[in-house]
Structure 1
């Protein structure tokens, strides 16, 4: 009681704090991004002056940012229906809330209403961005008419074929789907992935181009473009695509998931962590890939405890993942690289350098103090370090590109294959063999390597895998066998 009164000249004067006082306090906390305290003070302001539209609107904004979208919209609709019908900015905030609730048709209706009433308003640019996103979301929502038992069954069959690496069969099934449903964009995206995994890069890129031409802004296609550029080392295009994706703010859980996983896959753990944590905090019921990538993103962003929690969830789904935690994998990888680099086998040192370039940040590279007498090794290190690339011979980048292609096509398995390549690489340079046809060399090396191991491998399979003709494979296969011996 004492803090609510003032004493002056022996009189007791009430110190009444009106709505404006609490509104100002709430606004101050809002600007400091302390949303919970802002909500508390704004609620007090509204309680004291329930007809003050500005107070109600600011409280609605805070509720929206706290994820209380329905409560926010109730306040906003109350303003335009009962208090101030000309407060048109409410329509923008209503649209934004509906979008976050996944009610895209409602969101679009109110966004368009705002544009109609306030063509030069304060939130026009934001509303245009929202409408663009809603168009993408709406197109995905419109695909729900594909959800018949037949198409869902075929989608599941195609997914399983892709997971098992049976790309030819997956392509046949997906081609059947897109022929029957020519605007079923998810089938097109999976078809593009199947061609890419099979090594048919041109076909994969053409499909993505077709999707984006007929369904502009398709988020899955944009994400697949990023993955393609990442694996193909198209650095300039990758940077441009990532800049585009950073500006995307999807509303649906599915799109946020796709965005987060894509960022994680290409090593942008900061952006991956942003989206995946947002999903987790929103109560998203994740699957195994979600927990896998969230754990990786959390670990790389320094949230070890959270990463461990996510990995436990992953192990509860896939017990076989126990022991392959990102922090354990990293420690083992560093130790393995150090053992490769400290050995006497030149081919293994080459592979250790390649593995180092793919697994560690440059600041972590264990090459300080290494004194290799082999000139080719020194040139390879200069290439990895990015030292004056214009002065390095072309065969250095060729050697890296070929092992990279082998690794990509085999999901970075088969270490012996990559060491074998570096053994052959040195001999090929001695024989002055041109190395510019990366796909042909990779296909021939893997084919001969598998045959030497006694595995069943056909020239047709390898030719399809690396997108070369059987005749080209035979030609380079003869070269590989010759230098192998």
Structure 2
């Protein structure tokens, strides 16, 4: 009997559908039939995450969102189904009509109701859709339709005012929209941005809090909150929110774009590239900002060719951006580092230069040796980079360069502060320690300490595996880094 039980348990662990979207979809349906909408939403969201191309999963989630009163999120899913996943699912137009009617957007409701009738003249929801059309025709006369058109005009006006920088006028328009349409969440998010751009961070945060209280999980609000903390230079909150949003896998196209652009804006180009490149491969046709952030995230994650392709699109769409290329910005940083007094930044600037030097460029940079600050570490580093055959270079210089190679190889260009941190440690420790030959250990320790200081949830074990060294070695060198950083 015991063996039989053990066999049953073992078999249960390896049934493949347990971790599939189908499994969570079935659980979501069961919860829905029981009337447990919150649990149904949770399971169906998981099903959509696991299989984003399954139209029925997205459709059922949208139905649950409708019953929960989350009409805008529901509409986005229904539209995704009919435009991307399964254009034949005409019943989506029935639900869209009802949702827009609940939102007070009566002209949209009427348009989708008529679309359903055209597609399904004998459809399952024929009676219901005819009742809705009759109700819209009787109850909502021209004044209501004009009101909806007025909302669209106001939305466009608010957007234009924000772009022009006329924030007081934008606030006036947005607050009027919210008073009339209290569930029009995009108006709240734009209102928060307007207050923030005016310098009223407290009011901006208050608006965001109101959105998240009434519409928990609103991704645009969460992204705006991250941007606010970034501009306020609250690094702890930026790190915390970035880690939270890094675990989010949105289904909707506009949410993926918002997430990718937000990560790029706060300098997490690795996370930004994940979403923006994904959209690019889907042939997403974005505005110039999409290609702008794609170019930056591609460049800072080592995809130079894609960065240049994306930047060509930026210039086509917005010629005034010429001169703001990510590689040009990086070159400006190098100049600033090279001309500064921070030894660690100077050493990193020299390292970056060395990665692209050819014979002619070496000759062009020889003058650097004569013009730069006469710090002995800088001079020895320059000799190693520019005059390798003419100068005797100490081993600690070779080691420092090799440690930087380890970091450079296993991370992205955007992690420049981490690279500078290594040269801080090196410059502080070199008077006492002259042996930095365990390249992997120093690199692993630097990355662990730096990422932990940024609030990232990394472990010493995970970092050790990344650099192919033992946990005990990581622990040993982490102590050294913390001593000298």
What TM-score bracket applies, with the shorter chain setting the length?
0.3 to 0.5
TM-score, normalised to structure 1, is 0.46
TM-score, normalised to structure 2, is 0.46
